Amino acid sequence: MIRLKKVVKSYPVAGEDLVVLQDIDLQIKNGEFVAIMGPSGSGKSTLMNIIGCLDKPTSGEYLLNGKQVSAYDEKELAGVRNQSVGFVFQQFQLLPRLNALQNVELPMIYAGVGKKERIDRAQEALEKVGLGDRMDHLPNALSGGQKQRVAIARAIVNEPNIILADEPTGALDSKTGVQIMDMFTLLNKEGTTVILVTHEAEIASYANRTIFVRDGKLTSAGAVVDQESYEKLVASGAEEEQEQEERSITENEESVHLDESRGNEMKIEPSLVDHQKAEEGKM
């Protein structure tokens, strides 16, 4: 199970802390299918990176299967990423000089699996995603959908209990996207926890639960909504930002007017003093 408690993530920028995630409280049970949605810059990819042990929280707690992730050293974290979590990215991240089979073997090489077992398991994973006849093909000889299938095979070859997919259909046409999402659905039915980041409500509808992130905060963690509702949620966030910007501009203008007023007062005061001196001279 995944449990985040009061998680904050910030980065030092120009001598100040840029807060990307704020007080994140989240629980994802084993076997769930969860979508993470939010506008660009909302913090959803940072949240995904923390869940996948690619990044660490600045503060707060992250428990993975009841264990404090902060207690792991770098070697242990690498083991978690290799054995417990499978990653699928929008741009596939395949090595161009390796064929499909060799790309799928990579996680097992890092895990120290013997050659024969590597080949057998890689072949099985490729057959599972429907690429049993493309094992010897280099990435440039595969379509976008086939490349993503290879990436999924690579993600599942070590039989992780969590799959993290960051915009897995973003570079695919709609028909191929549906095929990829059907694979994630099948993996979830087999007991794998699937967590994906997406901008599309149609893709999120495959999940059992949708988490919305805006301005580094969770705004909702309930059921899936349609695209119209999602766009309204994003629009409301844009309206809030516009209102905040307008308030900031108004406050700045008021501050400028106040400074100008004070400046005028300072200009007036010497003239009053001169006038008083002149009157005293007449006396």
User: pLDDT by residue for the chain (283 residues), tens digit each?
Assistant: 999 999 999 999 988 999 999 999 999 999 999 999 998 889 999 999 999 999 999 999 999 999 999 999 999 999 999 999 999 998 899 999 999 999 999 999 999 999 999 999 999 999 999 999 999 999 999 999 999 999 999 999 999 999 999 999 988 999 999 999 999 999 999 999 999 999 889 999 999 999 999 999 998 665 545 555 556 655 655 555 555 555 555 555 555 555 555 555 444 445 444 545 554 554 4
In sequence order, what are the residues at sequence separation of 6 or more whose Cβ sits closer than 8 angstroms to the Cβ of residue 2?
Answer: 26, 27, 28, 51, 62, 63, 64, 162, 193
User: How many CA atoms are closer than 13 Å to the CA of 148, on its beta-carbon side?
Assistant: 23
pLDDT at 219 (0 to 100): 83
User: How many CA atoms are closer than 13 Å to the CA of 147, on its beta-carbon side?
Assistant: 21
Measured CA to CA, the distance from residue 90 to residue 139 in angstroms comes to: 15
How far are the Cα atoms of 22, 42, 131, 235 from residue 229, in angstroms, in the given order? 24, 17, 37, 10
Give the global pTM: 0.78
pLDDT at 266 (0 to 100): 44
Measured CA to CA, the distance from residue 123 to residue 117 in angstroms comes to: 10
Place of tokens 């993530």: 9
Quick one: tokens of 48? 């995904």
211: nearest Cα among 47, 64, 101: 47
How far are the Cα atoms of 31, 77, 91, 113, 174 from residue 169, in angstroms, in the given order? 21, 27, 9, 30, 8
pLDDT at 245 (0 to 100): 55
Please, what is the end-to-end C-alpha distance for the chain in angstroms? 92
Measured CA to CA, the distance from residue 102 to residue 41 in angstroms comes to: 35
Measured CA to CA, the distance from residue 248 to residue 240 in angstroms comes to: 12
In sequence order, what are the residues at sequence separation of 6 or more whose Cβ sits closer than 8 angstroms to the Cβ of residue 147?
Answer: 92, 94, 139
Q: Which residues pair with 28 in a beta bridge?
A: 2
